[in-house]
Each structure stands twice: as structure tokens, then as C-alpha cells.
Amino acid sequence: MDVILLGAPGAGKGTQAKALEEHSGLVHVASGDLFRSALRQGTELGMLAKSYMDRGELVPDGVVIRMIMERIAQADCHRGVIFDGFPRTIDQVAALTVELERQGRDLRYVLFLKVPEEMLLRRIAGRETCKTCGSTYNVYYFPSKRPDVCDECGGRLYQRNDDNMETAQRRLGVYFAQTLPLIDHYRTQGLLREIDGQREITQVTQDMLHVMESNGSHA
Ligand code: AMP
């Protein structure tokens, strides 16, 4: 089965997707991570994406869709995927729906992580990301044990270029304009499940697993 995690920047999609991957055996596919990894490798895709990411804008649909379709066609994704950061526009939804159907896949849930706007900015501004493994921390809510060092792999922590206040505000604006309509779309499809994303990290994970195991009630 496949699962989509929906939510604003800073809602905790990456953190929760990693936890769900561990508990469920599904494969975490994060569009932002794929772009950042392409950038680290110095590929054309990475350079193109950087120009949009640094401005807090969306990478054009055609580019993102191609990248995600290539990723989910890989063998490890056959057992099921947790989509994180994709889809973000109605056109991306349309492309994903066609492809999932073509591959005979089963999109079971769209988990919507609900977090109030004022908390989102604080979460983004305090976020630190590991250069090596991509794990995330937060200087206010979830600091690493040693400053600037990843608990998981010992890699160095850095602040993403797009995690400054100005770009974060633009990303939120883009989210409200382009991604929020997806909530209604998936609600109408009967796939949406709302999760309270304000709670403790482990509690949110439990809530998501509970929905996935119990076939959850409709939002
Ligand atoms: P994220 O790591 O999900 O916060 O994504 C970081 C940035 O990557 C976004 O602000 C966009 O510039 C780009 N990006 C990630 N996913 C998508 C997507 N599905 N569509 C367009 N741009 C994306």
C-alpha cells in the first residue's frame, strides 16, 4: 500500500515519515530530499531545483513528476511508499493518480498533519538538518545531544538555505495557495485522515500507526 503525508512546511512530515518507515517497512520517498541529494551530487537536476528552493518556490511540475515517477519505479518501492512533500499541486495529484493506477498500486491513506500556523514558523526557524543522513532536529523542541552533531550518524548539522524566516514565509504562502486545495480533493475521495501534529513526536507517530492499523475513521 502507498501513503501520502500532507502538511505545511514545518508540520513534521519528514520526521514522521522516517518513523513510519521504521515501523511499517514502507519506503520513504521525499521530493525535497531527492532534490537536496541531487544538488550534493552536482547534477543538472540539483542545480535547477536549487534556484527554486532558495527562493521558496515550487520546482516546475514536469520536473518533479518525472523525478518521482522514476523513483517509485525502482524495485525497493514495490512494497509500498510513504510520499513526503509530493504531491504539492493539483497537477501533481493528477499525474500521480494516473501512474498509481497504471502500476496497479493501492493509495490507502492521505495523512494530513495539522499544525497551527504560528507553530510552523518556529519549527522551521529552529530546524537543523544532518548533512550526511538528512535527520532533522530542532533547537527549541528536539535538540541533538551534542550541539551541531547528528545523534544518528555523527554527521554535521546545518540550517537549510530555505529555512530562514523570509523564505519560510514565502514557502507557507505557496503552501496555502497551491497545496491546501489537495486536502479537499483527498477528503472528497474518502482518503484523508487528520492527525494532530502539535503533539509529541512519538505520540504523533502512534496516532498515525493507529490510523493505518485500524483502518481509521474518516476526517
Ligand atoms: P521540502 O524538503 O519538502 O520542504 O522541499 C524543499 C523545496 O523543494 C520546496 O520548497 C520546493 O522548492 C522543492 N520541492 C519539494 N517537493 C516539491 C514538489 N512536490 N513540487 C515542487 N517543488 C518541490
- How do residues 77-123 score in pLDDT, each as one tens digit? 999 999 999 999 999 999 999 999 999 999 999 999 999 988 998 89
Judging by DSSP bridges, how do beta strands 136-138 and 127-130 pair with one another? antiparallel
Atom of ligand 1 lying closest to residue 84 CA: 3
Residues taking part in catalysis: 13, 88, 127, 160, 171
Q: What is the pLDDT of residue 141?
A: 86
Judging by DSSP bridges, how do beta strands 157-158 and 127-130 pair with one another? antiparallel
pLDDT of 218 > 80? The answer is no
Atom of ligand 1 lying closest to residue 56 CA: 10
Taking phi over 0 as left and psi of -120 to 50 as alpha, with beta for the rest, 44 belongs to alpha
Ligand 1: distance of its center to the CA of 32 in Å? 5
Q: In the predicted model, what is the mean pLDDT of the chain?
A: 93
Query: Which domains does the chain carry?
Result: 2-115+166-212 (3.40.50.300), 127-162 (no CATH)
Asked whether 91 and 14 are in contact (CB, 8 A), the reply is no
In angstroms, how far is CA 11 from the centroid of its own chain? 9
pLDDT of 216 > 80? The answer is no
Task: Measure Cα distances from 50 to 102, 129, 205 in Å.
Answer: 31, 17, 31
pLDDT of 17 > 60? The answer is yes
How sure is the predictor about 137, in pLDDT bands with cuts at 50, 70 and 90? very high
Ligand 1: distance of its center to the CA of 152 in Å? 24
As a whole number of angstroms, the distance between CA 38 and CA 192 comes to: 31
Q: What is the pLDDT of residue 215?
A: 63
Around ligand 1, the residues with Cβ closer than 6 Å are: 9, 31-32, 35, 52-53, 56-59, 64, 85-86, 88, 92, 162, 171
**What strand order describes the sheet that includes 107-114?**
27-30, 81-84, 2-6, 107-114, 192-196
- The pLDDT tens digits for 49-66 are 999 999 999 999 999 999
Ligand 1: distance of its center to the CA of 9 in Å? 9
Angle, vertex CA 136, rays to CA 20 and CA 92, nearest 5: 60
Asked whether 58 and 178 are in contact (CB, 8 A), the reply is yes
What mean pLDDT is predicted for residues 205-216?
85
Q: Is the peptide bond before 87 cis (omega within 30 degrees of 0)?
A: yes
